[in-house]
Chain A
């Protein structure tokens, strides 16, 4: 059974940093690209970042470019999102998701809430 479990969310002050993790199991993690997608409270979905299976290709939404860094450790079956210079508008539930093909996400974690507030 495919499982994705996010962790690392919490309350952080504006300008602060947070590192999200996503532990994957039930599939060959090293064979799949992975995505981070977020959802602000009461709002819709927003693609944040994607990383290819071997980390050769990395992409970011304009809203987070230069502040967030996606990475993965295939030996540990783990995906990460380092978030720096956090802003109030980054407040959201962050989901990690497996990429079925071309950005379509077929399995999602339960999400982890990031709240940026003073």
Chain B
């Protein structure tokens, strides 16, 4: 199975900060990676798919990059509504996808 390791697992940041979350795959997955945002008690929301394609309706301050084994999700200027937990998902082994452990972004 392909393992995904997210770092950091916890991040404390201020409104307006630039935030970067990393997702590393245990083997190459080309660009078969998605990013989701989840707020407490809510369902996940798709932000990015195919590593760098912004889902419709998602603010442009979110961006994704990477291929192979290393990927990043960047929030260019953190907004109050962005405090949440973020998950990456690999789809190279579709349909048997796996998720990263999550990165919780909290207010400093």
Nearest residue, chain A, Cβ from B100: A44
Contact string against B for A residues 32-64, beta-carbon threshold 8 Å, 1 for contact and 0 otherwise = 000001000000111100100000010101000
Q: Are B43 and A100 in contact (CB under 8 A)?
A: no
Bound-state CA distance A57–B94 (Å) is 12
Q: Are A104 and B43 in contact (CB under 8 A)?
A: no
Check A59/B46 contact, CB under 8 A, given A44-B102, A102-B32.
Answer: no
Q: Are A101 and B44 in contact (CB under 8 A)?
A: no
Interface residues of A in 84-111 (CB under 8 A from B): 95, 100-106, 108-111
Question: What is the number of residues of chain B that contact chain A, defined by CB distance less than 8 Å?
Answer: 23
- What residues on A are CB-neighbors of B36 within 8 Å? 45
Bound-state CA distance A44–B88 (Å) is 11
Bound-state CA distance A92–B69 (Å) is 29
Interface residues of B in 3-57 (CB under 8 A from A): 32, 34, 36, 42-46, 49-50, 55
Question: What is the number of residues of chain A that contact chain B, defined by CB distance less than 8 Å?
Answer: 21
Q: Are A44 and B101 in contact (CB under 8 A)?
A: yes
Nearest residue, chain A, Cβ from B101: A44
Q: Are A45 and B89 in contact (CB under 8 A)?
A: yes
Q: Are B94 and A45 in contact (CB under 8 A)?
A: no
Interface of A is mostly: strand
* A108 interface neighbour in B44, B87, B91, B95, Cβ under 8 Å: B44
Check A103/B99 contact, CB under 8 A, given A45-B44, A108-B43, A110-B43.
Answer: no
Q: Are A104 and B46 in contact (CB under 8 A)?
A: yes
Bound-state CA distance A33–B2 (Å) is 22
Binding site for B on A (CB under 8 A): 37, 44-47, 50, 57, 59, 61, 95, 100-106, 108-111
Binding site for A on B (CB under 8 A): 32, 34, 36, 42-46, 49-50, 55, 87, 89, 91, 94-102
Q: What 9 pairs between A and B have smallest CB-CB spacing? A: A108-B43, A59-B95, A103-B91, A45-B99, A103-B94, A103-B97, A50-B95, A104-B49, A104-B34
